[in-house]
Amino acid sequence: MQEKLQFSDGTTISITDGQLHCEDGPALETSDGTSYYFYDGQLHRENGPAICSPDPEQCHWYIHGIRVPSKERTQILVRELRQKFLGADSGSHGSTGSATNQPRKPKR
């Protein structure tokens, strides 16, 4: 069950099945303008910082509850994982893909 709570100071909270959760926006917005994006009770946002403060220095990125240093670091991690597991070339920063790094079926 999903419910949205609004407090007199302007704070709003979205709760689904007892956890902070909202798929189309922040699950928690405080009266000072800070927004917190939660998915299944964990700080999570793939297309921006999961904690967004009016002060850009106080914005933080989280993926499935794990803090990542910045958008740039997230892009580096995604590129490295694609290269490692798919042999895919992301097309930036000089990384090169190779057909020899394609995933293989386990031998029986």
The structural domains of the chain, with segments of one domain joined by +, span: 1-68, 70-102
Closest CA to 104 of 78, 88, 85, 83: 85
Q: 48 near 36, Cβ under 8 Å? A: no
Q: Is the pLDDT of residue 26 over 90?
A: yes
pLDDT on residue 87: 79
Cα distance between residue 31 and residue 43, in whole Å: 19
Q: Is the pLDDT of residue 42 over 70?
A: yes
What is the reported pTM?
0.64
Q: 38 near 21, Cβ under 8 Å? A: yes
Question: Rounded to whole angstroms, what are the CA distances from 29 to 4, 25, 42?
Answer: 11, 10, 15
pLDDT on residue 99: 45
